[in-house]
Homo-oligomer: A and B are copies of this chain.
Amino acid sequence: METLKVVKISGNIIDNDAELTSFLKEFASLNGPKILVHGGGKLATELSNKMNVPVKMIDGRRVTDAETLEIIMMVYAGKINKNIVAKLQSFGCNSVGFSGADGNTIIAKKRPVSTVDYGFVGDVVKVDIMVSKLLLNNNITNIFSAISHDQKGQLLNTNADTIASELAIAFTEFYQVELYYCFEKNGVLESIDDNDSVIEQINQETYQKLKKSGIINEGMIPKLDNCFYALEKNVSKVCIGKSNMLFDQQSSYTTIQN
């Protein structure tokens, strides 16, 4: 089977135009079918501040009222997504931008209100890759913003890590899928302040130990749970690190293994 790369980028690349351009130039030159997934939280917060819309975060997740959802749509699906697509075109990489509503691709359910009301936040219930696959088959790269929809006309703010893993899983039927979570650090670190202390491989057993010892804690736990979930669902490779792990064989990063 052909290899599909699903790459999720985060703020350190998105928020800096020079970083983004340099990343996209290399990304454009990657061989084979590929999907890019992005959010854009910091730029959304900036626009919220400009528009005097209060920003409310709970456990690192954005509470998304109607005004905030509109900001998410504008910043993720408008500004960032189209900027990425236009830059990729300039590097000769034909691409199409998606929200989860486009092609009916990412179907979600508004998160039920429990102790917290997250507002217009969606939990993925189904992925339909028909359109995405059609485009990949025709050598068109897909750029997904972290937005889903409920098939009833409601768009929903959705975690970008989850969108990446759900897309990766959905494509395992047709491709050997590799999932790359790019962030600002070189990988999962033994010592949070030492970027050279990369743990090169983590499996379920070492994961449990690293959690117990507190080396892997709050913010990283949902990310790693996502990784193991993807592996269970037949994604063949999951990596965490700086984006140069995609382009530079010598770079160190963390590989998650079952």
By a CB distance below 8 angstroms, the chain B residues around A131 are 94, 96, 135, 138, 140
By a CB distance below 8 angstroms, the chain B residues around A149 are 86, 89
Given A51-B51, A97-B99, A140-B103, answer yes or no on A82-B73 (Cβ-Cβ < 8 Å): yes
CA distance A92 to B63 in the complex (A): 29
Q: Is A102 an interface residue (CB 8 A)?
A: yes
Q: Is A10 an interface residue (CB 8 A)?
A: no
Interface flags for A64-102 (1: CB within 8 Å of B; 0: not) read 000000100111111101110111011000111111011
CA distance A95 to B104 in the complex (A): 8
The answer on a CB contact under 8 Å between B85 and A78 is no
By a CB distance below 8 angstroms, the chain B residues around A101 are 82, 85-86, 89, 97
The minimal Cβ–Cβ distance linking A60 to chain B, given in whole angstroms, is 23
Main secondary structure of the interface of A (DSSP, over half): helix
Q: Is A155 an interface residue (CB 8 A)?
A: yes
Can you name the residue of chain B whose Cβ is closest to the Cβ of A86? B101
By a CB distance below 8 angstroms, the chain B residues around A58 are none
CA distance A52 to B23 in the complex (A): 32
Given A74-B79, A135-B131, answer yes or no on A96-B102 (Cβ-Cβ < 8 Å): yes
CA distance A103 to B135 in the complex (A): 10
CA distance A6 to B256 in the complex (A): 48
Can you name the residue of chain B whose Cβ is closest to the Cβ of A78? B78
The minimal Cβ–Cβ distance linking A95 to chain B, given in whole angstroms, is 7
Given A77-B81, A77-B97, A134-B138, output 20 extra A-B contacts at Cβ < 8 Å.
Answer: A74-B78, A77-B78, A78-B78, A78-B79, A82-B101, A82-B102, A82-B155, A85-B99, A86-B149, A86-B153, A86-B155, A89-B153, A94-B131, A96-B96, A96-B98, A96-B102, A97-B97, A103-B140, A131-B140, A134-B134
The minimal Cβ–Cβ distance linking A152 to chain B, given in whole angstroms, is 5
By a CB distance below 8 angstroms, the chain B residues around A96 are 96, 98, 102-103, 131
Q: Is A147 an interface residue (CB 8 A)?
A: yes
Q: Is A212 an interface residue (CB 8 A)?
A: no
The answer on a CB contact under 8 Å between A152 and B90 is yes
The minimal Cβ–Cβ distance linking A138 to chain B, given in whole angstroms, is 6
The minimal Cβ–Cβ distance linking A62 to chain B, given in whole angstroms, is 16
